[in-house]
Amino acid sequence: MLTVMTTANPTARFEELLSSRARIGWGGSVTTSRPVSSPIYEFGGGYPDPASFPYDGLVEATAKMMKAEGAEALTYGDAQGYRGLRELVCHKYRLFENLEVTPENIFVANGSGAALSLAFSAFVDPGDPIIIEAPTFSGSLNNIRRHGPEVFGVPVDEDGMVTSAVRESLEKIRRQGRRCKLIYAIVNFQNPAGPDLSIGRRQELVELAEEYDTLILEDDAYNELRFEGDSKPPVYALDRTGRVIRAGTLSKILGAGVRLGWLCAPRAMLPAFQGFNFGGGVNPFMSRVATYFLREHMEAHVKVLVNVYRAKRDAMLRGLWEMLKDTDVEISRPQGGFFIWIKLPSATDVGRLEELAFKARVQYTPGPAFFAGKGGERHIRLAFSYEQPDKCYEGSRILAKAILDARRA
């Protein structure tokens, strides 16, 4: 009888065999939140609320889909993605943003992170100059690092990405005899800082892309989750020369585990993404389940989510301001999305705050995780999306107390 040894095998030396892209990113990932053992208050990651997931509706949609499509749902699919899902994305854009596109403009990917990676892979080589916001989403920042570009960060204010700084960077790149490959912008409820990109700046961004002959990668994961204020036209809708690529996802309105995102782009551009994607389409089965559910329930389900997340945001802001109102703290009030961005009071000892929050088991994400270079040392990001309103209120007060206790004498 053969005896199977269960001891762990050593790992072969592989570092010298790594690809150039793997070497670029090796050891360079950014921790998006501090490690806390079994946090009581999970404010670190942007996790959707599990209580909001439409469990019964997805079960019903799966049964209906299987009865209607059977074996077709379990085999390879269209390389561009399940057409029904692409049609649904077009409907979503029409419903929430008055944007008219066709299924031929949509390329389905394994979540928005993979969609963004397809765009970076298609257009960015190591050393290429690109422009991003500072701060920007840490997950996208890690994705960008893997592609090895030279990153030009521009600030964000209450109107979003500062386009005058974009122009300065574009001009600097041009003076070097180079061309910016793309401008990456999170246009709605910017993660982590929170603002919408103003209509005027959206138009100016398009004009700058035309003037300097570059592309815009417009990231929009949260637009439907608007609590207040008016929806603004997508940058994609303002484009007249076919140089805007738009990334979207179902993770925030259906479930992150669905892993369905997409790029919306000029039709002639789509083969550039296909070369970096798997054959047979992305998850034809789950694409059908999501489509069958959202065809009937999208608008009503989103209305429920807006109320759910608005209550969480308000509870967290109330707790923070009750404790910190007498300090020089700066706290964002996003009109939607998942996150609150805090500039800590000027006397805060950041290291001491980390210790106190760790003991209280309150999770948050330190500001430097959102900058390609230095920056964010006095900032933290809180996610109100996961915990219920009572815990958002309670946990934010506990964290605010830690901030007060972390002040230097």
Greater model confidence, 34 or 122: 122
How does pLDDT run across 58-93, given as a tens digit for each residue?
999 999 999 999 999 999 999 999 999 999 999 999
How does pLDDT run across 268-312, given as a tens digit for each residue?
999 999 888 877 789 999 999 999 999 999 999 999 999 999 999
pTM for the whole structure: 0.92
Residue 27 lies in a domain: no
Instruction: Give the whole-angstrom CA distance, residue 280 versus residue 81.
Output: 8
How does pLDDT run across 161-193, given as a tens digit for each residue?
999 999 999 999 999 999 999 999 999 999 999
Instruction: Give the whole-angstrom CA distance, residue 297 versus residue 37.
Output: 37
What three-state secondary structure class fits 376?
coil
Q: Among the three residues 238, 265, 297, which one is the final residue of a domain in this structure?
A: 297
Residue 224 has pLDDT above 70, yes or no: yes
- Split into its structural domains, the chain has a count of 2
Q: What is the DSSP letter of 27?
A: T
pLDDT band at 29 (very low <50, low <70, confident <90, very high): very low
Domain boundaries, position 124: 55-297
Residue 394 lies in a domain: yes
**For the purposes of burial, counting CB atoms within 10 Å of the CB of 177, is it exposed (0-12), middle (13-18) or buried (19 or more)?**
exposed
- For residue 315, what is the domain's CATH number? 3.90.1150.10
pLDDT over 70 percentage in the chain: 94
Q: What is the pLDDT of residue 36?
A: 58
Residue 197 lies in a domain: yes
Pair (205, 125) in one structural domain: yes
Q: What is the pLDDT of residue 335?
A: 97
pLDDT band at 120 (very low <50, low <70, confident <90, very high): very high
| Tokens coding 373 | 């270079």
Q: What is the pLDDT of residue 112?
A: 92
Residues in the chain: 409
Q: Among the three residues 297, 323, 344, which one is the final residue of a domain in this structure?
A: 297
Residue 25 lies in a domain: no
Residue 38 has pLDDT above 90, yes or no: no
How does pLDDT run across 231-252, given as a tens digit for each residue?
999 999 999 999 999 999 999 9
Instruction: Give the whole-angstrom CA distance, residue 135 versus residue 137.
Output: 7
Pair (370, 276) in one structural domain: no
Pair (102, 166) in one structural domain: yes
**CA–CA distances in Å: residue 220 to residues 10, 114, 178, 194, 235:** 43, 14, 28, 12, 10
Residue 30 has pLDDT above 60, yes or no: no
Pair (62, 139) in one structural domain: yes
Pair (43, 74) in one structural domain: no
Q: What is the pLDDT of residue 37?
A: 59
Region 212-224: what's the mean pLDDT? 96
Ramachandran sector of residue 399 (left: φ over 0; alpha: ψ -120 to 50; beta: rest): alpha
Instruction: Give the whole-angstrom CA distance, residue 396 versus residue 214.
Output: 42
CA nearest 332: which of 371, 372, 276, 381?
381
- Yes or no: say if 327 and 188 are a contact pair by the CB < 8 Å rule: no
**For the purposes of burial, counting CB atoms within 10 Å of the CB of 231, is it exposed (0-12), middle (13-18) or buried (19 or more)?**
middle
Q: What is the DSSP letter of 44?
A: S
How does pLDDT run across 358-393, given as a tens digit for each residue?
999 999 999 999 999 999 999 999 999 999 999 999
Alpha-helix runs per DSSP H in 325-383: 350-360
| Tokens coding 361 | 């088991």
- Yes or no: say if 88 and 287 are a contact pair by the CB < 8 Å rule: no
Residue 15 lies in a domain: no
Q: What is the pLDDT of residue 3?
A: 54
What is the chain's mean pLDDT, rounded? Answer: 92
- Yes or no: say if 385 and 310 are a contact pair by the CB < 8 Å rule: no
| Tokens coding 388 | 């219920």
pLDDT band at 10 (very low <50, low <70, confident <90, very high): confident
* Residue 107, beta-bridge partner list: 263
- For residue 129, what is the domain's CATH number? 3.40.640.10
| Tokens coding 245 | 């690529």
pLDDT band at 48 (very low <50, low <70, confident <90, very high): very high
- Amino acid letter at 252? K
| Tokens coding 101 | 């596109």
Residues 6+ apart with CB under 8 A from 70: none
How does pLDDT run across 312-321, given as a tens digit for each residue?
999 999 999 9
Residue 11 has pLDDT above 90, yes or no: no
Q: What is the pLDDT of residue 12?
A: 72
Pair (46, 74) in one structural domain: no
- Give me the DSSP letters along 148-182: -PEEEEEEEETTEE-HHHHHHHHHHHHHTT----E
Crossing angle of helices 111-123/138-147, nearest 10°? 30
CA nearest 130: which of 297, 245, 256, 286?
245
- Yes or no: say if 187 and 197 are a contact pair by the CB < 8 Å rule: yes
What strands, in cross-sheet order, belong to the sheet with 365-366? 330-331, 339-343, 379-383, 365-366
Q: Among the three residues 266, 297, 328, which one is the final residue of a domain in this structure?
A: 297
Sign of CA dihedral 197, 202, 204, 206: positive
Q: What is the pLDDT of residue 8?
A: 62
Residue 1 lies in a domain: no
Give CA angle at 218 (157, 130), nearest 5°: 80
Instruction: Give the whole-angstrom CA distance, residue 114 versus residue 236.
Output: 20
Pair (43, 64) in one structural domain: no
What three-state secondary structure class fits 209?
helix
Pair (165, 127) in one structural domain: yes
Number of neighbours of residue 280 by Cβ within 10 angstroms: 12
Residue 122 has pLDDT above 70, yes or no: yes
